[in-house]
């Protein structure tokens, strides 16, 4: 069973303009993550543009990632879909392929109620047998998981963890406490939002679901290990060093910045799926300057 702890690195998914995944380019992004020793790889998350890919292309991406990881690093794969039956099918695909877990968001066009989300997750967990991590991503889904709903879902067999946006440092302790009181002791609480993740780890978060780690695993691992050791001074110093990258993430979104960084480093030649546009040239120059100045690669 995957632990849902430590550093989970979320790479982009190189694909053609018509949504055809490039397996070779994806494997080239996965290989350094395996070598660096990340605790898991988050394939087809929001950074991996899962919502823009067909079921067939998602499976192509998963097969390539599993082949490259070779069982050395567990793969958590995005299985979100607008329809419950489609999410069940994607979860079944993931389990059959050998993914360690599924990352399930509350995707919808029509706003969902708590009960609708509960039934959706229940159907996917029971209909697939795949271990599930709840993906709380209100910035894209416009649905927020409350501690009460997380607590209900944590009682469902097969739902083991939560990935939620890290709140600001002032709020994180209270946020974690409310969640911890709602879930069993073995239910794992992890955070995304790289710019606040370090303080969330120090406050007791058990996993960091990181966009930056999908391209720059080493500095992210250093931050994580310092937090795990309780070395707040070192953790904050390491985190402050990459603050220019966090600033770019917050200003232009992590997805767009990571695409620009990957292209600057010559790792793959791909743009985000339309209608998302690449960053303008002056901003791409800023991204390149930060990557080079910080020596992130």
> What's the CATH number where 32 sits?
3.20.20.70
Catalytic residue among 50, 52, 109, 163: 163
Q: Among candidates 40, 43, 16, which has minimal Cα distance to 27? A: 43
Which residues lie closer than 8 Å to 106 by C-beta, 6 or more apart? Answer: 80, 112, 117, 120, 135, 141, 143, 145
Total domains present in the chain:
1
Which residues have CB under 8 Å from 28's CB, separation 6+?
267, 268
Whole-model pTM? Answer: 0.97
Q: Let me know if residue 277 belongs to a domain.
A: no
- The b-or-e profile of 50-81 (16+ CB within 10 A means b, else e) is bbebeeebbbbbbbbbbebbeeebbbbbbbbb
Residue 246, domain member (yes or no)? no
Let me know if 135 is a catalytic residue. yes
Q: Please write the tens of the pLDDT for every residue from 17-47.
A: 999 999 999 999 999 999 999 999 999 999 9
Report the share of the chain in percent with pLDDT over 90: 98
How does residue 282 score in pLDDT terms, banded at 50, 70 and 90? Answer: very high
Kindly tell me if the per-residue pLDDT of 297 is higher than 90.
no
Assign 6 to helix, strand or coil. Answer: strand
For position 158, what pLDDT does the model report? 98
pLDDT score for 29: 98
Provide the token pair at 39.
């605790």
The stretch 102-115 carries a mean pLDDT of 97
Cα separation, 212 vs 2, in Å, equals 22
pLDDT band, very low/low/confident/very high, at 296 (cuts 50, 70, 90)? confident
Nearest to 232 by CA among 207, 209, 208, 204: 204
Q: Say if 264 falls within a structural domain.
A: no
Task: Tell me the residue range of the domain where 113 lies.
Answer: 6-229
Q: Average the pLDDT over 133-153 and give the result.
A: 97
Catalytic residue among 135, 209, 218, 259: 135
Single out the residue of 36, 93, 33, 38 nearest to residue 65, CA to CA: 33
Burial 219-233 (b: 16+ CB within 10 A, else e): bbbbbbebbeeeeee
With bands split at pLDDT 50, 70 and 90, how would you rate the model's confidence at 70? Answer: very high
**Is residue 249 situated within a structural domain?**
no
Q: How confident is the model at residue 8 (pLDDT cuts 50, 70, 90)?
A: very high
In a domain, 269, yes or no: no
| pLDDT for position 1 | 79
In a domain, 244, yes or no: no
User: Is 257 within the bounds of a domain?
Assistant: no
Q: Is residue 265 part of a domain?
A: no
d(CA 204, CA 199): 9
pLDDT tens digits along 205-235? 999 999 999 999 999 999 999 999 999 999 9
**pLDDT in the model for residue 241:** 97
Mean pLDDT across the stretch 144-168? 98
The answer to whether 52 is a known catalytic residue is no
Write the DSSP string, 148-196.
Answer: HHHHHHHTSTTEEEEEEE---HHHHHHHHHHHHHHS-TT-EEEEE-HHH
Q: Which of 160, 161, 228, 152 is nearest to 197 (CA)?
A: 228
Closest CA to 261 of 241, 291, 283, 239: 291
Of all residues in the chain, the percent with pLDDT exceeding 70 is 100
Give the pLDDT score at 208. Answer: 98
Helix (H, G, I), strand (E, B) or coil at 40: strand
Report the candidate in 68, 62, 69 with the shortest Cα–Cα distance to residue 93. 62
């Amino acid at each position: 069973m995957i632990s849902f702890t430590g550093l989970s690195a979320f790479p982009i998914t190189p694909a053609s303009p018509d949504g055809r995944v490039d397996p070779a380019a994806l494997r080239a992004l996965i290989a350094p993550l395996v070598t660096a020793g990340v605790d898991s790889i988050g394939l087809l998350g929001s950074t991996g543009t899962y919502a823009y890919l067909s079921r067939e292309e998602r499976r192509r991406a998963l097969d390539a990632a599993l082949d490259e990881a070779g069982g050395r690093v567990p793969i958590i794969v995005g299985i979100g879909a607008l329809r419950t039956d489609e999410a069940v099918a994607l979860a079944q695909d993931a389990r059959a392929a050998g993914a360690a877990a599924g990352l399930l968001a509350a995707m919808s066009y029509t706003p969902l109620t708590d009960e609708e989300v509960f039934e959706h997750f229940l159907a996917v967990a029971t209909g697939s047998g795949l271990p599930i991590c709840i993906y709380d991503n209100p910035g894209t889904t416009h649905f927020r998981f409350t501690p009460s709903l997380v607590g209900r879902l944590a009682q469902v067999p097969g739902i083991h963890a939560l990935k939620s946006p890290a709140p600001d440092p002032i709020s994180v302790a209270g946020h974690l406490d409310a969640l911890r009181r709602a879930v069993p002791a073995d239910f794992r609480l992890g955070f995304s939002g790289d710019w606040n993740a370090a303080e969330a780890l120090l406050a007791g978060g058990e996993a960091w679901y990181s966009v930056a780690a999908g391209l720059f695993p080493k500095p992210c691992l250093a931050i994580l290990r310092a937090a795990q050791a309780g070395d707040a001074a070192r953790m904050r110093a390491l985190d402050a060093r990459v603050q220019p990258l966090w600033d770019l993430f917050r200003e232009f979104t992590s997805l767009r910045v990571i695409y620009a960084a990957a292209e600057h480093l010559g790792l793959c030649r791909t743009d985000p799926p339309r209608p998302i546009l690449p960053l303008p040239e002056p901003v791409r120059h800023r991204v390149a300057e930060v990557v080079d100045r910080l020596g992130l690669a």
